[in-house]
Each structure stands twice: as C-alpha cells, then as structure tokens.
Chain A
Amino acid sequence: MFGRRFHRVIMASGSGQALPSSDSPALKFKVVAVQGRARSSRMTLPHFTAHTPMFMPVGTQGSVKGLTTLQLEELNCHVILGNTYHLENRPGSGLVAEMGGLHDFINWPRGMLTDSGGFQMVSLLHLAEITEEGVTFQSPVDGSSMLLTPEQSIAVQNRLGADIIMALDDVVPTTANDPARFEEATHRTTRWIDRCIAAHSRPLEQNLFGIVQGGLDPRLRELSMQQLVARDLPGYAIGGLAGGESKDDFWRVVSQCTAGLPPGKPRYVMGIGYPLDIVVCSALGADMYDSVYPTRTARFGVALIPEGVLKLKNAANARDFRPLDPSCSCMVCRRYSRAYLHNVVTRGISTAAILVTYHNVAYTQRLTWEIRTAIEEQRFPEWVRSYLKTMFPKGDVPRWVREAMAASDISLEDAVTGPGSGTTSRNTTNPATATPPAPVPTDPLPISAAVRASV
C-alpha cells in the first residue's frame, strides 16, 4: 500500500514517466497531476485555457438562465454550453454568424462548447424521426420541419463558432430495450463522425469531439471507442448516458470508456450534473461535465449544499437564518438567509431564482476546483472520503459509489459503515438541511426529465 502511494506521487511529480498530453490543431491538453485514475489538467482552447475536471453550465438559448456573462466570469466558469438545435431555431446560426459568432453575440470571452443537436433526438423524441441521412425534427415552436444531418449540424456549429463542437451521434435512450437499435446506432455514429469530419470547415479554430456510443453493452462501447480513436480527434465524449439507466450500469460504462480512451486527450461525460456523479466520474478519470441540473433545480427552489440538497420551500426554512451553505463564500451565501429565500423562490420573482442559480453554479465550480486542487496536492482520496462523510454522515454510501471508488483505487474505509445496503437511498440527519436529492425533476417533455438530470 505504501509502496503504491509512493509510486503514484513520483508519477505525478514528473520524475517518473511524463504526464499525458496532446497537441491538436486547435486544442492543447496537458495533464498536470495524476492520482490514481483521477487527473487534473489544462486544456488550451482558442478562447481560453480551461482547468479540468470542470463543470460547464448550460446556456441553451444563449444565456445561462438569468446570469450575466460577467457573473459567469466571477463564478469562475471556464466553458459554457450553447445548444445547436435551439440556437438554430432562434435566432438562427446565420444571424449569429453575422453578429460575429456566439462569443460576440452573447459577449462571453471564455470557452464555448456547442452540442450537436443529437440530444434533442432523445429529449424531443416524439418530434423526431431518425434515418441514415439524419434526424428530422418538428419544431416545437412553430411545427416546421428541420432536417439535422451530420453536415447540417457541423455547418451550424461552424457558424456559431464555439471552441468545441460535437459530432452528431445517433443517440438511443439507455432505457430502450432494443439491442438491434443500439447496434445500429453504434455503427451509424461512426459513419456520421466521418461525415462530420468531412463537413468541418474550421478545424484550426474549432475542435470536433467524437461521442462514444454503444448503450450499456461493453462490446459495442469497445467498438465505438476503437473506431473513434482511430480518427484521432482532439477529444472524446462519453455519450448515451444520463438517461434512466441504473447507477451500476452507469459507472461501469464510464469506467470502461475512461480506461479505453487515450489519456492525453480530454474525456467529456455528457449530461452529468449531480455533484456525487461529478466526484465519481472524476475519480474514474473523466475531465468535463455539463448539465442543466444545477441551474434548473435552482429555479425549483433547490440549493446544492455539501450534505446534498436544500429544498428551500420546506417550511423548516422559514426561520432558518443561516446561509444556504455556511461553508460557501459566494455572494449569496455571504449575504442572504434561507429564511429570506424560502418566501420568494418559485413565486415568479426572477431575482430569487437567479440568486439560487448563482449559488448553485458557485457550488459546482467550487466542487470541481476542490477536486482539481486535491489531485494536484495529492490528497484526492482523503478529499473523497471527507466529501462522502459529509454527504453520508451515517456511512451509508451507496453500493455503486463504493464499487466505483474501488475501481478508481480509492479506499473508503472510514467513510462507510458495513456492507452497502441501499443502492441510491440517502440518509438525512435534519430534514431541513440534508434532504434526499430531488427526485427526477418533472418536465413537460417526456424524456428529458430522465436524461441530463442524472439519477
């Protein structure tokens, strides 16, 4: 045990073999510290050098729900997301290009990533028809038809101008019980990546990431990875998760992919936003995450705190004058009380929603900062144990987390008690402060409730 730790320290300090890195035309990725499978890295993009592991807030329609770009900078966000499908609907990628690209249009100087529109295949499935050519969508806004082919998706993303663009992949919801469909989707994703590469007109300014598919089938995942890696892309995403799959399946797929993808390139697990998921995936060696969860749950009056979540509308908060998170130093936690926010969240006063959103983004950014720092200071396992102790004070860490940590070579001895009993149940000490994570948020769109707000 001691010898292995010693060996790891040497590796990280550089006197052993060199740390992984890669040099793509528009992206430089450099791992600066490793501990176990976790790594802390720097990713130099055309607009900004991001630090990973990092969480990327989602600004679907060109704004992160009420926050100004100045606030996003103050919150230390490095990369934010825009959504190809929605931005093409309104205002249109042509207009954005005329405005100088998405960065200039919304006045965000740092990193930007655009999704391909593929996710909407799942979230708007009832409006989509998938063929070899592409996906035909019926616009939810005006019912008009929009054909999204790999070429179209890349063309739109080229016009939007983000630092990282995503290939159009054939996404199947993990809950689908259709092995043939998964097989088809895996191979089609590879055919589409070639079409995306061919269509990409700005390879020196925008990085095209491929997305590993394959559902929950290790064989298909392996196949997908091999085929993508053969294309030598600047970075790789692990897609098709954050659906309704069980956590046991989820972490195993992530683990297989981080083990199989080249270490010198960034790994992006799409749709991850639950703090616990971020910690587990980082332990398994992933680098980038995105989700609407922190910002969306804020608008439902739910604040992210070290113990889990805080449901502000709960009556116990009416006289609780503590800040949302006493350990948080964000503007909201330094000045506002739970008692104040309790009365005004979800009541149609935008400011209240923005305040909780602000904290939730601050919380998630601080979480990833702590992860990076712990890896760089070679105390990541201790940090993980302490994090889990706070979240599970009675030691009932879910089984899937224990297994994932074992696979990450992180011992949890003092953080857990006894063999795992529950899988996803969380215990609480005080209903006001440590309620279980919010159930899958209700959402008018049938599938997006399950996807992207990972259970």
Chain B
Amino acid sequence: MLVSLAAHSMATTATHFSVKARDDKARCGILSTRNGVVETPAVLLYTRRGGPLNLTSPDMLAAVTPPVQGVQLSAMQFLENPDASILREYGRGAHGFLCLEGFPVLASNRDPTMYEYAMRPSTDKEVHVSIHSGGHMVSPERYMETMAALKPDLFVSLCDEVPADATSKRVATSIMRTAAWLDACLQLHYTYQHQNRQATGGGQEVDPQPCGGSSNKGNGACGRSSADGKGSADNGSSSAGEGPLAGSLLLAALAGGGLAMERARAAAAVADKEGVGGYALCGLGAGEAPEQRPALIAASLGALSPIALERRPVFASGLSASPEDILAAVAEGVDLMDCAFVAQVTAGGYALTFPLRPHQGWRPPAAPDEELIAEADRAPVREPQPQLDRAAPPSSSLFGLSAAPGLGPDTSIGADDTKINLWSTSYRLDKGPLLPGCGCFACRRHSRAYVHHLLNTHEMLGDVLLEAHNTGHINAFLQAIREAITEGRFEEYRQWFRSLRSAPLVPAPRRVVAKRRASAEPSEPIESEPGTVEVTMTGAMEVEAHVARGGSGSREQRRSKWVSV
C-alpha cells in the first residue's frame, strides 16, 4: 500500500522540482507548478490574510521588477474569516479567491512576521495558534481540510512549533508530535489527491467532516464523493489525482527547535518517506540568534541523503532577517524562503540600496592586515574605477560601483549602504530615485523627496512605493545569487558581500598634515572634503585600524590615518 501511495503521489503531482546547477551545497533549481515556474533559490512574496500588504494584485504585483516568482501565505490565517467551508464554496482555491492567478502559491504553517505559536499549550492531537480571530486548536484533519480548500502548489505539513529556547524535553515532544502529524498529513494528502472533484458552481453545502483516519483511502468513503454524479471522474483524466490537492507538493516539516542534535534526529526520521515532496525547515525565526541558524539548517539537511534532497525543494521559514541570512541559508542548500525582511524594512520607511554585484575586477582580498599595510605603502590614491553606470544594463543589473557622488553605493570608497531611511530630512529636496540605476516602478516614476513627503504625511502611497522597490530589490538580489551559483562562484560572492560590511580602509589622498601631537593618543581624524556619501566609522573599524597601526604608543605612523568622511 505504501509503495502504491508513493507511485500515486509522484505520478499525480503536477508540482515538481529539479536541480540545474550546484556550487558546494548551494543549488539552483527549477520548481514548476501548474501556476507557473520558480527559479530557485527564490524568496516568496509575503502576504497577510492572503494579500500583499501594500501592493494591489494584479497591477502593482505585475509591475515589480524583477518579477515576483511565487507567493507565500499562512494557512493558519484561513481557519476563520474565511474558513475552509467558505473557500470550498467559492471553489477556485486560493489563487482565485486572492487574485493570485499566475503565481505559484506556498501555504506554510506560519506567518514570518508574527509568531502564532506557544501562546497556549498544544496537545498531542492539536497545535494551538493565535490568529486574527483569536486562538484555535488545529488538528491534522482541520489543517489539511484548510489546505484542500486553499489548493496551493506547495504546502507545509503540520508542525509543533517551539521557540528556540524550548527545553530538550519540549523539543523531543515536538519532534514526536510533528512526526505523527506528518504521517497524518501524508494520509490526508493522498486522500485529498484522489478524492473526486467537488461540485463547483453551486452553493451546495458540503459535509464539513474531513476524510480522516487511516482506514479511509481513496474514493467514496468521505461523503463528498460522486453520490450526486457531479463529482464523477469523467473529466478526461484518470480517476486518480483529481482531488483538490492533486498536484500539490507536501513539504515535510523538519522540527527540532534550537537543538542541532534533535534537528538531525528529526530529519533522519523523515528522510525520504513516501509522499514527501520536499522539506520545510521549521523552528527558525523563533528567537534564536541569526548566527546560529546556519548550524541548525545544516543539522537538519545534513541528516538527509543527497538522493533524498535531489528532487525535493527545501523551504525555510522565518529566517529572513537580512540579506546575510538569505546568503547563509542558500549556502546550506535552501531553495525557497518566505520573507519578513521586506515587510519590516518597508514598514520602517527604508528603501533597500545594498549593492548586488561586485564591480569588475574585484578579487577576494588577502589577509586583511597585509592588505592594509601593502596598500598604505603603495601609491596613496587608488585610481578611480571606470564609470560603469553608463554602460550598465538596464533595470536590476546594479553594479556595486559608482564613481560620481550621489549615484548609489560607492564601494570603492568603502560605502556599504544597505538601506536608506526615507524619514530622514536629508531627502527633503532629493530629486533622485530611491536607488539610482534601479528600474523598479518607484525609482522610475518618483523621487526620494516625494517618498519622504509621503511618509511624513502618513500617506499609504509611501508604503506602496517602498514595497514595490524593496520587493524588486530582493528579487534582484536572488537573481544575482542564482547567477553566482550557476557560474560556480557563490562562495566568492558571499565573501564580497561580507566584505561590504567591513571594507578595507581606503587610504586618504595625500594632503598637508597638521603637526602631530606629542602624546601617545592616536591623532585626531582629519576631516576630508565633505563627501556626498556618508560612511560612519564603527567602533570595530576604529579598533581594527588602531591595532593595524601597532597599537597606541606608536609614534611611527607609516600607515594611513583614519579618515572620517
């Protein structure tokens, strides 16, 4: 029976995944679904109660460049208002109800911007979630009934989510529950795949009791089958695989909280169980520190065999705190991610401006100290980099370089802009786009001054423009990541991205220096020409420079002074 289960699920699922390129553990793939294709790694658009926060569908969603590839929604937000019975009555699944036609939809078990779990205790049979309408106890049956009504292209199995600081006992319980619920979801998935199609076009009230339990398989036992003849399987396809979840890929929840060993154990137990179409890393973004995440992800995925991972996409939820998080996850082999980051920076009034590609000729640096010394001893002024912006390809191809001031992050002078805060009054009169060189809707049509004004006056349009830009920027980021993986230079790309955060100091141009003080204190920083790009020296950089100079007390200043720009 289990073998036939596997054969059925593989044969009927219309969603499938294949890896196209690899670079160490990172991989590029194609996820094809009935509603479109996703090139992975990809970040999925965040939605709340089924809709983006600020971008209307379809017009504003279609205007995002590079395009949105897929959408994530939380199934828990469809337990009530609306609930499964309303969605069933509507009959066209999430795609129709939410106007998401043309987008692959992943229904996950949580909303990455809020934490619905651990408000109240869960039981072995049901997990407790807190949603817009209050608290709900969710069993696998209720969960899968909701999934069947949503008809997503991929969905996550029910998981007993625990915070990162859960005790090992609690974690062990969550693993046990999640495993049992996975089995239940697999059974129900099979049932919903092969159930005869609902009568559509009518308000016929259906029996809300879902097909549950291990004894009911296939057709006929659910009370929703072809008793009235309408749901009969004479639609030109085989009787198997016409149910609401036919073609949906089940992503097995990999639990284990914040404990690496437990995560490995849980993942090993899932392995490549029949019916499992992919994996969902749960328990992240649950209070752990970002730097712990790579190890947790590695623990889960490391316990899976390469063959198991070959045809199965990996979805990570709750980890998008920053671009570095995304890079770390991709490096561990994650293919799909949800995205709280864009929602959060947009809500804060930020426009993402981090550079997406190294400038031509960038090489990974040697050991930092040597680099510093070597540079200081050479000619003091680095040649200006060639101006690439004129020849740059349009829209999202954003080289991390600009020789002229005010035109995007200038990495040759050590700028590492990640985002700009449009609330800042420094943008009051700025006629330029949010990010020069960006081809998104907001940057093509509007200025920083206008966005600043909109934020200041609490106008919704400000958030609309920022979300359009930020979503596009993240999509462009993932595009650059995919290119790097395909060209086999992903690790180099990561190094470059990290280097932006701690760029080597740039020697100042030679100038007449004031008489050095006799004390052992480091000299006062010299004010350079007022730059149009702001770079702040962090404490760490100061210490680094200080140490590089041989510590305090040294009067031999052969190296460059700090520059405060």
Instruction: Name A's B-contacting residues (CB within 8 A).
Output: 61-63, 65-71, 74, 86, 90-91, 95, 98-99, 105-107, 318-319, 321, 331, 335-337, 339-340, 343-344, 347, 349-355, 358
Residue among A62, A91, A331, A337 having the largest count of chain B Cβ atoms under 10 Å: A91
Q: Closest chain A residue to B48 by CB distance? A: A349
> A355–B53 contact, CB under 8 A?
no
Q: Could you tell me the distance between the alpha carbons of A105 and B449 in the complex, rounded to whole angstroms?
A: 8
Distance to closest chain A CB from B306 (angstroms): 42
> A105–B450 contact, CB under 8 A?
yes
Known contacts: A71-B59, A91-B428, A331-B59. The answer to whether A340 contacts B457 by CB under 8 A is no
> B49–A344 contact, CB under 8 A?
yes
B461 touches which of A67, A318, A336, A347 (Cβ 8 Å) = A67
The 6 A-B residue pairs with the shortest CB-CB distance in the complex, in nearest-first order: A66-B460, A63-B461, A61-B457, A335-B99, A91-B453, A63-B459
Contacts of A62 in B (CB 8 A): 450, 453-454, 457, 459
> B464–A68 contact, CB under 8 A?
yes
Q: Could you tell me the distance between the alpha carbons of A74 and B461 in the complex, rounded to whole angstroms?
A: 16
Q: Could you tell me the distance between the alpha carbons of A252 and B49 in the complex, rounded to whole angstroms?
A: 48
B460 touches which of A74, A335, A339, A350 (Cβ 8 Å) = A350
A106 touches which of B53, B58, B450 (Cβ 8 Å) = B450
> A349–B460 contact, CB under 8 A?
no
* 10 examples of A-B residue contacts, CB within 8 angstroms: A68-B60, A68-B465, A86-B457, A90-B453, A95-B428, A98-B429, A321-B90, A343-B49, A351-B57, A352-B51
> A351–B90 contact, CB under 8 A?
no
- B382 contacts the other chain (Cβ, under 8 Å)? no
- B56 contacts the other chain (Cβ, under 8 Å)? yes
Residue among A68, A321, A335, A358 having the largest count of chain B Cβ atoms under 10 Å: A68
> A61–B459 contact, CB under 8 A?
yes
Q: Could you tell me the distance between the alpha carbons of A423 and B240 in the complex, rounded to whole angstroms?
A: 63
Q: Could you tell me the distance between the alpha carbons of A105 and B453 in the complex, rounded to whole angstroms?
A: 10
> B454–A63 contact, CB under 8 A?
yes
- B389 contacts the other chain (Cβ, under 8 Å)? no
Distance to closest chain B CB from A202 (angstroms): 22
Contacts of B447 in A (CB 8 A): 99, 105
Q: Could you tell me the distance between the alpha carbons of A99 and B453 in the complex, rounded to whole angstroms?
A: 12
A65 touches which of B49, B441, B460 (Cβ 8 Å) = B460
Among B81-89, B144-152, B311-319, B488-496, the stretch that binds chain A is B81-89
Q: Could you tell me the distance between the alpha carbons of A354 and B61 in the complex, rounded to whole angstroms?
A: 13
> B99–A336 contact, CB under 8 A?
yes
Known contacts: A61-B459, A105-B449. The answer to whether A351 contacts B53 by CB under 8 A is yes
Q: Could you tell me the distance between the alpha carbons of A271 and B459 in the complex, rounded to whole angstroms?
A: 21
Binary contact readout B47-83 vs A (1 if CB under 8 angstroms, 0 otherwise): 0111111111111100000000000000000000110
Q: Could you tell me the distance between the alpha carbons of A65 and B90 in the complex, rounded to whole angstroms?
A: 30
Q: Could you tell me the distance between the alpha carbons of A354 and B454 in the complex, rounded to whole angstroms?
A: 16
Instruction: Name B's A-contacting residues (CB within 8 A).
Output: 48-60, 81-82, 86, 89-90, 97-99, 132, 203, 428-429, 431, 441, 445-447, 449-450, 453-454, 456-457, 459-461, 463-465
Distance to closest chain A CB from B320 (angstroms): 20
Q: Closest chain A residue to B59 by CB distance? A: A331
> B82–A343 contact, CB under 8 A?
yes
Contacts of B445 in A (CB 8 A): 68-70, 107
Distance to closest chain B CB from A6 (angstroms): 47
Contacts of B49 in A (CB 8 A): 343-344, 347, 349
Known contacts: A343-B81, A347-B49. The answer to whether A91 contacts B456 by CB under 8 A is yes
Q: Could you tell me the distance between the alpha carbons of A350 and B446 in the complex, rounded to whole angstroms?
A: 20
Q: Could you tell me the distance between the alpha carbons of A416 and B49 in the complex, rounded to whole angstroms?
A: 44
Q: Closest chain B residue to A351 by CB distance? A: B51
A337 touches which of B90, B429, B461 (Cβ 8 Å) = B90
Beyond the given A65-B459, A351-B55, please list 19 additional residue pairs across the A-B interface where CB-CB is below 8 A: A62-B450, A66-B459, A66-B460, A66-B461, A67-B461, A99-B429, A99-B447, A321-B90, A331-B58, A339-B86, A339-B90, A340-B99, A350-B464, A351-B51, A351-B52, A351-B54, A351-B57, A353-B460, A354-B54
Contacts of B441 in A (CB 8 A): 68
Q: Could you tell me the distance between the alpha carbons of A69 and B461 in the complex, rounded to whole angstroms?
A: 10
> A99–B449 contact, CB under 8 A?
yes
Distance to closest chain A CB from B377 (angstroms): 47
Contacts of B57 in A (CB 8 A): 335, 351
Q: Could you tell me the distance between the alpha carbons of A61 and B53 in the complex, rounded to whole angstroms?
A: 22
Q: Could you tell me the distance between the alpha carbons of A335 and B446 in the complex, rounded to whole angstroms?
A: 28
Q: Could you tell me the distance between the alpha carbons of A319 and B86 in the complex, rounded to whole angstroms?
A: 6
Q: Could you tell me the distance between the alpha carbons of A339 and B450 in the complex, rounded to whole angstroms?
A: 35
Contacts of A349 in B (CB 8 A): 48-49, 51, 53
Distance to closest chain A CB from B80 (angstroms): 9
Q: Could you tell me the distance between the alpha carbons of A299 and B431 in the complex, rounded to whole angstroms?
A: 31
Q: Could you tell me the distance between the alpha carbons of A337 and B82 in the complex, rounded to whole angstroms?
A: 12
B51 touches which of A65, A71, A344, A358 (Cβ 8 Å) = A344
Q: Could you tell me the distance between the alpha carbons of A69 and B465 in the complex, rounded to whole angstroms?
A: 11
Q: Could you tell me the distance between the alpha carbons of A67 and B465 in the complex, rounded to whole angstroms?
A: 10
> A340–B97 contact, CB under 8 A?
yes
> B56–A354 contact, CB under 8 A?
yes
Q: Closest chain B residue to A64 by CB distance? A: B461
Q: Could you tell me the distance between the alpha carbons of A100 and B463 in the complex, rounded to whole angstroms?
A: 23
Residue among B52, B429, B464 having the largest count of chain A Cβ atoms under 10 Å: B464
Contacts of B464 in A (CB 8 A): 66, 68, 350, 354
Known contacts: A91-B428, A95-B428, A339-B82. The answer to whether A321 contacts B89 by CB under 8 A is yes
Q: Could you tell me the distance between the alpha carbons of A321 and B86 in the complex, rounded to whole angstroms?
A: 9
> A319–B89 contact, CB under 8 A?
yes
Q: Could you tell me the distance between the alpha carbons of A90 and B449 in the complex, rounded to whole angstroms?
A: 12
Distance to closest chain A CB from B527 (angstroms): 29
Distance to closest chain B CB from A337 (angstroms): 7
> B82–A354 contact, CB under 8 A?
no
Distance to closest chain B CB from A347 (angstroms): 7
Q: Closest chain B residue to A98 by CB distance? A: B429
Q: Could you tell me the distance between the alpha carbons of A101 and B49 in the complex, rounded to whole angstroms?
A: 39
Q: Closest chain A residue to B55 by CB distance? A: A351
B446 touches which of A91, A107, A347 (Cβ 8 Å) = A107
Distance to closest chain A CB from B546 (angstroms): 43
Q: Closest chain B residue to A69 by CB distance? A: B445
Distance to closest chain A CB from B47 (angstroms): 9
Contacts of A339 in B (CB 8 A): 82, 86, 90, 97
> B82–A318 contact, CB under 8 A?
yes
Distance to closest chain A CB from B35 (angstroms): 15
Q: Could you tell me the distance between the alpha carbons of A430 and B558 in the complex, rounded to whole angstroms?
A: 86
Distance to closest chain B CB from A270 (angstroms): 22
Distance to closest chain B CB from A71 (angstroms): 7
Q: Could you tell me the distance between the alpha carbons of A309 and B450 in the complex, rounded to whole angstroms?
A: 34
Contacts of B52 in A (CB 8 A): 351
Contacts of A351 in B (CB 8 A): 51-57
Q: Could you tell me the distance between the alpha carbons of A65 and B82 in the complex, rounded to whole angstroms?
A: 27
Q: Closest chain A residue to B454 by CB distance? A: A63
> B97–A337 contact, CB under 8 A?
yes
Q: Could you tell me the distance between the alpha carbons of A95 and B447 in the complex, rounded to whole angstroms?
A: 13
Distance to closest chain A CB from B100 (angstroms): 10
Residue among A69, A340, A351 having the largest count of chain B Cβ atoms under 10 Å: A351
Contacts of B56 in A (CB 8 A): 331, 351, 354-355, 358
Contacts of B132 in A (CB 8 A): 347
Contacts of B428 in A (CB 8 A): 91, 95
Contacts of A352 in B (CB 8 A): 51
Q: Closest chain B residue to A70 by CB distance? A: B445
> A68–B461 contact, CB under 8 A?
yes
Contacts of B89 in A (CB 8 A): 319, 321
Q: Could you tell me the distance between the alpha carbons of A319 and B90 in the complex, rounded to whole angstroms?
A: 8
Q: Closest chain A residue to B431 by CB distance? A: A99
Contacts of A91 in B (CB 8 A): 428, 449, 453, 456
